[in-house]
Every structure is written in structure tokens, then in C-alpha cells.
Amino acid sequence: MLSFSHSPTNQHYPLAKPSQITSTMRYLRLEPNSVLSPYDGLRPFAAIIAIESEVAPEWQWQVSKWLVESGCLYMLAWGRDCSSWDDSVDYANLEAFNYGDIPEEHDVITTWHDHQTLSEVFDFAKRHVKPASDNIELKETLVLDISIIDKQQQYELLFATAE
């Protein structure tokens, strides 16, 4: 099943069931074009990508594939060129299944948030994020900060106070 990109402002997300975002947040800062290490967090997970630095398209593709391979089932992109991240994760999910049908339990839902604050994205995540399959529980939320500046304390506070 192909997950089409949707903008949260268009409200194409299901509201019938509560979010599955857990209070467990993992912060990971990646400098642009850095080497990716194996993901050592809980799986499956939701990822909020805060793109604060310009990145090479090739590296963006590597990160998108890394997210899919690591067990990300819901990706929210915020920041610079966030709609391109929405697309690249969609394509990485398609490639993982040889551009065929994607089983529901592996379908990555993607959103981009180009007109919201990061605080609003965290609020959205806590209210609406759930995987495509009702049989799956998200274990944690990865906040992937693509930046040269560490913002762990700031992002942890924003996430903790999100509603």
C-alpha cells in the first residue's frame, strides 16, 4: 500500500483513533553529510526530522533509506525543504519493496510541516501519529535533528510540553 504524502493543513490524517506516540523520546543530532550508525533505539518508531541545515540530495536519500530500514513507520518532516524529505522517505519505502505492494505493517506514513512551528509539529505528533496497521505499537519517538548545533535540551522540553 502506497502512503501518499499529506500536508497536515489539509487534514488528510485519520482522527478516529488516538495517537500512538509514546512519551519516550530519543534525540539524535546528525551533522549534514555525516556517516550513519546503526539505529540502536526501540522499534518500530516514529521520527520527527528537524532539518536545520542544507544537505546533499545523496545524503538525504541515505538517511531516508536508513529510516525505513531501521523501523520507522511514521515520519514527520519540519524545516528546510521538508516536503522533499516526505518524498524521499516515501520513495525509500517503495524501493524497500522493489516498487511493489508494501505490506501494511511496513507502510511508512509521511507528513511535512512547512507552515508550522516545531512545537506545533510535536503537538500534532502527540495527537495524531499512529502506524498504518492497527496491530502495531510505536515504541518511541526519534527526534532527528539535522543541524550543526546540539538542541537536545530545547527539543526535549518542547516534546515534554507538547499536548
Q: Average pLDDT for residues 57-69, to the nearest whole number?
A: 98
pTM for this prediction = 0.87
pLDDT classification of 163: cutoffs 50, 70, 90: confident
Say if residues 24 and 54 touch (Cβ distance below 8 Å).
Answer: no
Where does residue 131 fall: left (phi above 0), alpha (psi -120 to 50 degrees), or beta otherwise? beta
Helices (H) and strands (E) in the chain, counts: 4, 5
The SS3 assignment for 143 reads strand
Alpha carbons 144 and 122: distance in angstroms, whole number: 13
The average confidence (pLDDT) of the chain is 89
pLDDT at 18: 55
C-alpha cell at 49: 526530522
C-alpha cell at 103: 505490506
Q: Report whether CATH 3.90.190 matches the domain 8-33+41-161.
A: yes
- Each residue's pLDDT tens digit, 101-113: 999 999 999 999 9
Q: Closest Cα partner for 161 from 116, 114, 128, 120?
A: 120
The SS3 assignment for 39 reads coil
pLDDT tops 50 at residue 11: no
Which secondary-structure segment (H or E) carries 70? helix 57-70
Report percent pLDDT > 90 for the chain: 83
